[in-house]
Amino acid sequence: MTVLVDDPLIASMAIEQALPLHESSRRLRDLYPECPRVYGVAVIGDLSRRRWWPLQQALTGDKLYSMFTLAAEETESRAAVAQQLAATLAHVVVGRVVPLLVLEGRAWDTGLENLWVHVDSEGAIDWVGVADATLRALPDDPFFANRAAIRTNVSARDGIVALPNEAALTTWIAHRSHRTLEPLFGKLAEISDSAISIASMWHIVGAAVVGAATQVPLLAGSSELTSMRRGQAVLDALVGFGLPVRGPTRAMAGAAGKGLLN
């Protein structure tokens, strides 16, 4: 039996103009209604800023250091703490956008300057927001087809713009995520005295892509083949940037026994 959770933070959103991101995030929240903040993001302009901070402050302030120090007080393994924080950052940046990519062929901007995080009473990140709600999408997105049917032009003011094809979209996601995670992982290595290697952090990113691309079709009943292809394309783009996201082959359901490689 599905349990619907009336999340107070989500219920408090004051949406003045419904944008494609609002619709996509609602559908993502519906994937896991018991924990509606697991998927999707908020639009910062819809919410109060209480317990929200720009992800950039992880580099310029003591936010990440405080998170590491508090967690380290509860365990003797600094490596385990660093691994958990790397996984959190990977989920914040790429682990949330991949579900939208594989399900709808859409993506929000994962650039460092665009992402905000919400923390709970203990300072742990429990939700993510974006300052700019503009989505990038595939040219055959239903939004564009509907606008074409009524002969209405689409502009960035509509909150969605088309990229030429799937390769352009997945490469853009990988590029923006790379530019965000690279300095964050560098900072985490610094404050943790390299408790784990930066290469290990990038492997965690690869696992996050694989996990999201594997789980979403199970939750949504969507195409496993499409999910596999799009997830693979993000991994390929990250590898093209010289990032060690590859690891042991993990099988993922798909046509002709093909697997998503991580």
* Sequence spans of domains, the chain: 15-261
Average of per-residue pLDDT across 148-158: 63
- Read off the pLDDT band of 252 (50, 70, 90): very low
The position carrying tokens 């903040």 is 37
**Residue 145: predicted pLDDT:** 83
Distance CA 73, CA 62 (A): 16
Mean pLDDT rounded to a whole number for the chain: 89
Average of per-residue pLDDT across 123-147: 92
Residues paired with 108 in a beta bridge: 135
Distance CA 144, CA 137 (A): 9
The amino acid that residue 32 corresponds to is: Y
pTM for the full predicted model: 0.90
Residues 6+ apart with CB under 8 A from 229: 166
Q: Which of 140-144, 231-235, 240-244, 252-256 bottoms out in mean pLDDT, i.e. has the lowest?
A: 252-256
Of 57, 120, 118, residue with least CA distance to 92? 118
Distance CA 232, CA 246 (A): 11
Region for 242 from its dihedrals, namely left if φ exceeds 0, alpha if ψ lies in -120 to 50, beta otherwise: left
Average of per-residue pLDDT across 189-213: 97
Helix (H) or strand (E) holding 236: helix 224-240
